[in-house]
C-alpha cells in the first residue's frame, strides 16, 4: 500500500465522561474514495471533526502527508489541504452562489488589505483568477448558470452541490464529505455518485465519505472503514466489508 | 477596614434583589421570544412613577402600587401586541431596535405626564432602622427582599403548576414543537411581556422608597437588570435573580471600599472579567456547539 | 455596467462627493451646516460599525467609547500639552485603535447577547472614567479650549471649510469600505457572520478577522472623535455615553445592515431628525420614538433595503409601461 495521504492514529475523543471515539485508526490513500460508515452514534462525525480540528483530540494524532497536523487550528488545516462539507448545510446564505465559492478560495487568494482598499493591479489580477477558478468549480458541479443567484434561494439539493463546489474551490488534497446524500432524492443521489467519482478522477482529490446510504457507499468507494461505538471495527474494500461477519452483526444486531 | 462590610452587604442585597427582579423580567421575554427588551427599565420606572402619581391622587399606598403594577403589565402586553407582534419573523435585531424606540416613547411620555422632578414613595412600614449583625437595616430593605422572594416563589409555582407556565417553558425550549402541540406562541409572547411588565413595575415600586424615582431612572436600572441576567446566565430566571444579588453586592462593596464615583465601573469590570473566564455566565449552560 | 478603469465604487464615490459639496449652497443658514458636519461625523462611525455589525455580525454596544477616546486624547494632547494638532489627532486615533486591539481578544470570543453585554460594559466603564477622572478630562462639565483644526498652515475656521473637509473624509471612508467589502476580507467577514465553522473549514482565521474588523471600526470611530473635538473645541462625557452607542446601532440597523450606503443614510437621517422635529417642541421625543418604531416596522431591511425595493418596483412599472 502506498503512503497514506491521511493517517489518523489511535484517535481518542472524550466529552466529559463520554468516549465519543476510542483509539480509532483511519487512513485514506491518495487518489481514493474512502468511506467511513457505522450505525448512528458510532463516532463518524466526531472523527471528521477531529480530523478538521473542530473538536480536540484527547489522545492520538492526525497526519497529513506524513506531517502531524493535530495541533493546528481548523483554518490552518484547511490551508494544509483538508477541506470538508457539513451534514447540516452551512451555505453562506447572505451571499451569492459565486461569492460562496469565491469565499472558498480564501486561502489561495493572496493580497494585502491595503491592496484591496486601493484596488491595485495585483488585487484585480488575483480577484479575476479567484472568480475564474470559482466559476470553473461551479461548472464542475453543474451550478454555473446559477452563479449570481442568492445562495439562500437555492433548493436543498443544489445547496449541497454548492457546498461541494465551495470546498473544491479551496483546492484541497483531501475532501471530507459529511453525509452528502442526506435529504437528496434517488436521482440526485445517483448524480452525487458521479460527482464524487469525478472529483477523484478528474480533480485528483482524495475523498473521505461519511454516509448512511449503503448503495452510494458501496458503488463509489475504493475502501471502507467501519466504526462501531467509537471503536474501529473493520476496514477493507467494499466487497470485503459486505462479507465481514462482524460488520453484519453490528448492523443487524446480535441474535442470542 | 471591613467595619462597614455588614452594612454594605445589606444595602447591596437590597439593591441586588431589585436588579434580580429586573433581570427576571428580561429573562421572561427572552425565553419566549428571543428578544432582549430594552424597554424593561422603563417598566421599572413606570412602576415607581405610577405609584407616586396614584398615591398623589389620593389612593392608599397598597392600592396605588397594585394598580401601578397592573397598569404596567397592561402596557407590556400592549407593547407586544402593537409593536412586537407585527414584525414577527424579522431579524431579532429589528425587534431590539423596536424596544429601544418603545423605551424612548415611554420615557418621553413619562416626562410629559409626570414632569422632570424626582419623587420618593413613602417607605411601606416606617423608617426606624433595625439593628442586627452590626448593620442598620431599613425596614424597606426587608420589604424588598421579601417581595423578591415571594415573586420568585410565585414564578416557580407558575412554571411548575400551571398549564400556562408549562406552555411558556415549552415555548422557550422549542418554539416549533410548542406550536405543534397546540400552544399559541403569540399568546405566550403577550403573556411574557405582561408578566415582565408586572415584575419590572414591582421592582420599581419597592425600590422607589429607597432610591427615589424619576422619568429617566429606567435606562440605568434596565442596564443593571440586563447585566444581572447575563451574569447569571441568559435564559435561566433564577440565575438572573442570583446574578442581580451578586451585582448589587459587588456594587455596594465597590462604592464602600473604592471611590463611590467608580462604583458602577467596579461592578462592570468584575462582570467583564467573569465573562472572559466564563463566557456563558455563572449558571449558564456551557455552549456545547454541535458541528 | 462595467467601469474597468476607475471602478464602479470610485464612480459612485465621486458622484457622492460632488453631491455633498453642493449641499451647502442649498442651505438657508450656517446652523444647518453644523448639523451636516455632525451628520457626516456620525456617518463615519456608522459605516465603520456596520463593517463590524452588518457584515461580520458582531454587535458592539460600546462604540461611543472609541469615539470619546479619540476626542479626549487629542483634546488633552493639544490643549493641555500643547502638541501640534496632527500629532494630537494621530494620538487620538492610535489610542482608540490600541484600546480596541487589547479589548478585542477576550471580548470577541463571546457570542450574541454576551458580546453585546461585554461591549456595553466596556463602554460604560470608559464613560465613567471620562466623568470621574476630573483632573484629566475635566469631569462631567467637559473639556474646553480645544484648538480648531488646522493642517499644513490652513485653519478650517469657517464651518463651510470644515464641512468640505468632512465631505472628503466621509467619501474616502465610504470608498475604502466598499472596496474592502468587495475583497477576500469582505467575503470572509460575511462568511463568518453566517457560519463560523464553515468559514474556518475554508481557511478563514476567524479570530484574526473579527479582531481586524473590530479594530478598524474602532479606528474610524476614533477618527470621527478627533475631528469632532477639533470642530466643536468643547467636549463632554455626555456625548460619548451608552445613549450614543445605542444611537449608533440604531443608525446602522435603520440604514440597513451590511449596506455601506445605508449606514450613511441612517446616520444622516437620525442626525437630522431631532432638528426637523424641533417644531413639535415638547412632544418631539415622542415623535422621534414613534418614527423609529414605525420605520423598523415598515422597512425591516432599513432605508437601503426599502430604496432597493422601491427601485425594483419602479423598474417593473416602467417595463409594464413600455410593454403596453
User: What ipTM was assigned to the predicted interfaces of this complex?
Assistant: 0.92
CB contact under 8 A, C286 and B223: no
Q: Which H, E and C letters describe chain C, residue by residue?
A: CCCCCCCHHHHHHHHHHHHHHHHHHHCCCHHHHHHHHHHHHHHHHHHHHHHHHHHCCCCCCCHHHHHHHHHHHHHHHHHHCCCCHHHHHHHHHHHHHHHHHHHHHHHCCCCHHHHHHHHHHHHHHHHHHHHHCHHHHCHHHCEECCCCCEECCEECCCHHHHHHHHHHHHHHHHHHHHHHHCCHHHHHHHHHHHCHHHHHHCCCCHHHHHHHHHHHHHHHHHHHHHHHHHHHCEECHHHHCHHHHHHHHHHHHHHCCCCHHHHHHHHHHHHHHHHHCHHHHHHHHHHHHHHHHHHHHHCCCHHHHHHHHHHHHHHHHHHHHHHC
Of C174, C180, C175, C172, nearest to C56 by C-alpha is C180
Which residues contact residue C248 at a Cβ distance below 8 angstroms, ignoring those fewer than 6 apart? Answer: C42, C45, C46, C49, C63, C64
- Using a CB–CB cutoff of 8 Å, tell me whether B102 touches chain C: yes
Distance (Å) from the alpha carbon of C19 to chain B's nearest alpha carbon: 30
Domain segments of chain C as ranges: 8-241
Query: A192-215: per-residue pLDDT in tens?
Result: 999 999 999 999 999 999 998 999
The answer to whether residue B194 sits within a structural domain is: no
* Structural element, H or E, at residue A63: strand A59-64
User: What local confidence, expressed as pLDDT, does residue B127 receive?
Assistant: 80
Query: B22-70: per-residue pLDDT in tens?
Result: 999 999 999 888 888 999 999 999 999 999 999 999 999 999 999 999 9
pLDDT(B212) > 80: yes
Mean pLDDT of the residues in chain A = 91
**Spatial separation of the C-alpha atoms in residues C72 and C88, rounded to whole Å:** 10
The answer to whether residue B140 sits within a structural domain is: no
User: What local confidence, expressed as pLDDT, does residue C3 receive?
Assistant: 47
- Using a CB–CB cutoff of 8 Å, tell me whether A75 touches chain C: yes
Contacts of B286 in chain A (CB under 8 A): none
User: What local confidence, expressed as pLDDT, does residue C264 receive?
Assistant: 96
User: From chain C, which residues contact B within 8 Å (Cβ)?
Assistant: 59, 106-107, 109-111, 113-114, 116-118, 120-122, 124-125, 128-129, 131-132, 197, 242-243, 246, 249-250, 253-254, 257, 282-283, 285-286, 288-290, 292-293, 296-297, 300
Tens place of pLDDT per residue across chain C (324 aa): 444 445 788 999 999 999 999 999 998 888 899 999 999 999 999 999 999 999 999 999 999 999 999 999 999 999 999 999 999 999 999 999 999 999 999 999 998 888 988 999 999 999 999 999 999 999 999 999 999 998 888 899 899 999 999 999 999 999 999 999 999 999 999 999 999 999 999 999 999 999 999 999 999 999 999 999 999 999 999 999 998 999 999 999 999 999 999 999 999 999 999 888 888 877 888 888 888 888 888 888 888 888 888 888 888 888 777 765
CB contact under 8 A, B101 and C116: no
Contacts of C116 in chain B (CB under 8 A): 36
Which residues contact residue C190 at a Cβ distance below 8 angstroms, ignoring those fewer than 6 apart? Answer: A92, A94, A95, A99, A103, C55, C56, C181, C258
CB contact under 8 A, B279 and C129: no
Contacts of B269 in chain C (CB under 8 A): 121, 125
Cell, residue A5: 495521504
Distance (Å) from the alpha carbon of A113 to chain C's nearest alpha carbon: 7
Q: Give the range with max mean pLDDT: B164-168, B223-227, B256-260.
A: B223-227
User: What local confidence, expressed as pLDDT, does residue C324 receive?
Assistant: 59
Handedness of CA B40, B43, B44, B45 (dihedral sign): positive
CB contact under 8 A, C193 and A54: no
**Spatial separation of the C-alpha atoms in residues C40 and C169, rounded to whole Å:** 9
Handedness of CA C309, C315, C321, C324 (dihedral sign): negative
- Using a CB–CB cutoff of 8 Å, tell me whether B291 touches chain C: yes
Structural domain boundaries, residue B230: 226-283
Contacts of B265 in chain C (CB under 8 A): 124-125, 128-129, 132
Quick one: closest CA in A to C198, which residue? A90
Q: Which residue has the cell 472529483?
A: A199
Domain count for chain B: 1
Q: Which residue has the cell 467501519?
A: A226
All partners of chain B with 3 or more CB pairs under 8 angstroms: A, C
Q: Looking at the partner chain, which of B90, B100, B264 has a beta carbon nearest the beta carbon of C128?
A: B264
The answer to whether residue B148 sits within a structural domain is: no
Query: A38-76: per-residue pLDDT in tens?
Result: 887 778 889 999 999 999 999 999 999 999 999 999 999
Between these two residues, B218 and B256, which has the higher pLDDT value? B218
pLDDT(A83) > 60: yes
Query: A204-254: per-residue pLDDT in tens?
Result: 999 999 998 999 999 999 999 998 887 888 889 999 998 888 888 877 665
**Spatial separation of the C-alpha atoms in residues C79 and C290, rounded to whole Å:** 41
The answer to whether residue B131 sits within a structural domain is: no
Q: Looking at the partner chain, which of A54, A123, A130 has a beta carbon nearest the beta carbon of C197?
A: A54
* pLDDT-based confidence at residue B271 (cuts at 50, 70, 90): confident
CB contact under 8 A, B108 and C197: no
Chain B contact probe: residue of C121, C269, C273, C281 with most B CBs at under 10 A:
C121
The answer to whether residue B254 sits within a structural domain is: yes
CB contact under 8 A, B269 and C132: no
Quick one: closest CA in C to B287, which residue? C111
Q: Which domains does chain A have, with CATH numbers?
A: 1-81+172-256 (3.40.50.300), 96-171 (no CATH)
- Using a CB–CB cutoff of 8 Å, tell me whether A86 touches chain B: yes
User: What local confidence, expressed as pLDDT, does residue C143 receive?
Assistant: 94
The answer to whether residue B152 sits within a structural domain is: no
User: What local confidence, expressed as pLDDT, does residue B2 receive?
Assistant: 60
Of B232, B206, C99, C50, nearest to B198 by C-alpha is B206
* pTM for the full predicted model: 0.92
The answer to whether residue B262 sits within a structural domain is: yes
Estimate to the nearest angstrom the gap between the alpha carbon of A208 and the chain centroid.
6
Quick one: closest CA in B to A85, which residue? B291
The residues with which A208 forms a beta bridge, in sequence order, are A34, A176
CB contact under 8 A, A94 and C179: no
CB contact under 8 A, C198 and A86: yes
The answer to whether residue B241 sits within a structural domain is: yes
Angle at which helices B92-114 and C242-255 cross, to 10° = 130
- Using a CB–CB cutoff of 8 Å, tell me whether A54 touches chain B: yes
Interface of A with C in 173-232 (CB under 8 A): none
- Using a CB–CB cutoff of 8 Å, tell me whether B105 touches chain C: yes
* pLDDT-based confidence at residue A127 (cuts at 50, 70, 90): very high
The residues with which A231 forms a beta bridge, in sequence order, are A228
Interface of A with C in 103-132 (CB under 8 A): 103-107, 109, 111, 113, 116-119, 123, 127, 130
- Using a CB–CB cutoff of 8 Å, tell me whether B92 touches chain C: no
* pLDDT-based confidence at residue A102 (cuts at 50, 70, 90): very high
Distance (Å) from the alpha carbon of B285 to chain A's nearest alpha carbon: 14
Amino acid at each position: 500500500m502506498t503512503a497514506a495521504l491521511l493517517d489518523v492514529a489511535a484517535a481518542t475523543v472524550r466529552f466529559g465522561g463520554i468516549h465519543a471515539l476510542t483509539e480509532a485508526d483511519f487512513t485514506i490513500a491518495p487518489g481514493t474514495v474512502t468511506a467511513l460508515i457505522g450505525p448512528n452514534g458510532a463516532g463518524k462525525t466526531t472523527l471528521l471533526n477531529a480530523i478538521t480540528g473542530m473538536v480536540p483530540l484527547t489522545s492520538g494524532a492526525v497526519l497529513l502527508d506524513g506531517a502531524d497536523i493535530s495541533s493546528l487550528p481548523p483554518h490552518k488545516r484547511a490551508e494544509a489541504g483538508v477541506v470538508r462539507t457539513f451534514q447540516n448545510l452551512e451555505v453562506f446564505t447572505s451571499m451569492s452562489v459565486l461569492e460562496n465559492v469565491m469565499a472558498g478560495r480564501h486561502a489561495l487568494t493572496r493580497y494585502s488589505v491595503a491592496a484591496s482598499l486601493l484596488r491595485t493591479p495585483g488585487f484585480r489580477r488575483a480577484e479575476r483568477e479567484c472568480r475564474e477558478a470559482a466559476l470553473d468549480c461551479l461548472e464542475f458541479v453543474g451550478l454555473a448558470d446559477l452563479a449570481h443567484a442568492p445562495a439562500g434561494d437555492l433548493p436543498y439539493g443544489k445547496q449541497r452541490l454548492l457546498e461541494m463546489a465551495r470546498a473544491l474551490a479551496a483546492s484541497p488534497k483531501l475532501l471530507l464529505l459529511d453525509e452528502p446524500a442526506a435529504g437528496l432524492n434517488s436521482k440526485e443521489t445517483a448524480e452525487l455518485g458521479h460527482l464524487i467519482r469525478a472529483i477523484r478522477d478528474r480533480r485528483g482529490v482524495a475523498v473521505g465519505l461519511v454516509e448512511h446510504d449503503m448503495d452510494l457507499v458501496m458503488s463509489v468507494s475504493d475502501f471502507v472503514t467501519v466504526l462501531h461505538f467509537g471503536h474501529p471495527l473493520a476496514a477493507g474494500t467494499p466487497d470485503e466489508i459486505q462479507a465481514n461477519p462482524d460488520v453484519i452483526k453490528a448492523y443487524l444486531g446480535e441474535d442470542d | 477596614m471591613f467595619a462597614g462590610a455588614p452594612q454594605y452587604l445589606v444595602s447591596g442585597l437590597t439593591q441586588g434583589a431589585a436588579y434580580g427582579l429586573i433581570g427576571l423580567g428580561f429573562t421572561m421575554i427572552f425565553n419566549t421570544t428571543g428578544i432582549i427588551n430594552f424597554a424593561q427599565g422603563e417598566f421599572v420606572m413606570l412602576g415607581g412613577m405610577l405609584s407616586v402619581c396614584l398615591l398623589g391622587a389620593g389612593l392608599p399606598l397598597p392600592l396605588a402600587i397594585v394598580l401601578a403594577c397592573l397598569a404596567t403589565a397592561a402596557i407590556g402586553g400592549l407593547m407586544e401586541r402593537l409593536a412586537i407582534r407585527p414584525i414577527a419573523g424579522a431579524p431579532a435585531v429589528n425587534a431590539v431596535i423596536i424596544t429601544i424606540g418603545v423605551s424612548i416613547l415611554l420615557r418621553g411620555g413619562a416626562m410629559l405626564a409626570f414632569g422632570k422632578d424626582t419623587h420618593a414613595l413613602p417607605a411601606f412600614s416606617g423608617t426606624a432602622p433595625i439593628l442586627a449583625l452590626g448593620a442598620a437595616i431599613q425596614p424597606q430593605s426587608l420589604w424588598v427582599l421579601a417581595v423578591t422572594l415571594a415573586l420568585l416563589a410565585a414564578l416557580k409555582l407558575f412554571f411548575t403548576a400551571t398549564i400556562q407556565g408549562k406552555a411558556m417553558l415549552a415555548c422557550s425550549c422549542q418554539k416549533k414543537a410548542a406550536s405543534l402541540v397546540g400552544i399559541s406562541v403569540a399568546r405566550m409572547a403577550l403573556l411574557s411581556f405582561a408578566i415582565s411588565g408586572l415584575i419590572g413595575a414591582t421592582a420599581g415600586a419597592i425600590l422607589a422608597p429607597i432610591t427615589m424615582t424619576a422619568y429617566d431612572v429606567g435606562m440605568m436600572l434596565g442596564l443593571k437588570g440586563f447585566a444581572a441576567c447575563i451574569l447569571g446566565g441568559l435564559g435561566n430566571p433564577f440565575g438572573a435573580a442570583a446574578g442581580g444579588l451578586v451585582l448589587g453586592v459587588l456594587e455596594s462593596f465597590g462604592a464602600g471600599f473604592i471611590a463611590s464615583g467608580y462604583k458602577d465601573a467596579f461592578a462592570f469590570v468584575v462582570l467583564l472579567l467573569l465573562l472572559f473566564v466564563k463566557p456563558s455566565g455563572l449558571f449558564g449552560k456551557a455552549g456545547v456547539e454541535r458541528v | 455596467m462595467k467601469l474597468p478603469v476607475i471602478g464602479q465604487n470610485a464612480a459612485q464615490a465621486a458622484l457622492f462627493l460632488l453631491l455633498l459639496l453642493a449641499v451647502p449652497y442649498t442651505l438657508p443658514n450656517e446652523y444647518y451646516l453644523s448639523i451636516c458636519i455632525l451628520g457626516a461625523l456620525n456617518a463615519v462611525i456608522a459605516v465603520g460599525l456596520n463593517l463590524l455589525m452588518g457584515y461580520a455580525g458582531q454587535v458592539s454596544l460600546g462604540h461611543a467609547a472609541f469615539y470619546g477616546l479619540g476626542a479626549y486624547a487629542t483634546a488633552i494632547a493639544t490643549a493641555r500639552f500643547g502638541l501640534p494638532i496632527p500629532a494630537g489627532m494621530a494620538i487620538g486615533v492610535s489610542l482608540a485603535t490600541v484600546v480596541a486591539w487589547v479589548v478585542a481578544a477576550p471580548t470577541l470570543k463571546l457570542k450574541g447577547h454576551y458580546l453585546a453585554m461585554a461591549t456595553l460594559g466596556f463602554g460604560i466603564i470608559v464613560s465613567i472614567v471620562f466623568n470621574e477622572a476630573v483632573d484629566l478630562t475635566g469631569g462631567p462639565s467637559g473639556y474646553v479650549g480645544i484648538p480648531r483644526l488646522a493642517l499644513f498652515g490652513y485653519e478650517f475656521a469657517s464651518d463651510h471649510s470644515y464641512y468640505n473637509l468632512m465631505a472628503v473624509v466621509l467619501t474616502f471612508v465610504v470608498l475604502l469600505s466598499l472596496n474592502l467589502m468587495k475583497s477576500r476580507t469582505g467575503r470572509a467577514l460575511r462568511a463568518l457572520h453566517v457560519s463560523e465553522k464553515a468559514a474556518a473549514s475554508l481557511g478563514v482565521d476567524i479570530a484574526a478577522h473579527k479582531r481586524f474588523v473590530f479594530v478598524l471600526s474602532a479606528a474610524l470611530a476614533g477618527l470621527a472623535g478627533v475631528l469632532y473635538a477639533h470642530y466643536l473645541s468643547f467636549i463632554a462625557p455626555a456625548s460619548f455615553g451608552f445613549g450614543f452607542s445605542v444611537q449608533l446601532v440604531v443608525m446602522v440597523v435603520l440604514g440597513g445592515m451590511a449596506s455601506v450606503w445605508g449606514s450613511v443614510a441612517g446616520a444622516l437621517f437620525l442626525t437630522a431628525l431631532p432638528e426637523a422635529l424641533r417644531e413639535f417642541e415638547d412632544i418631539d421625543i415622542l415623535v422621534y420614538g414613534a418614527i423609529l418604531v414605525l420605520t423598523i416596522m415598515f422597512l425591516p431591511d432599513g432605508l437601503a433595503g426599502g430604496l432597493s425595493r422601491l427601485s425594483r418596483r419602479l423598474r417593473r412599472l416602467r417595463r409594464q409601461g413600455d410593454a403596453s
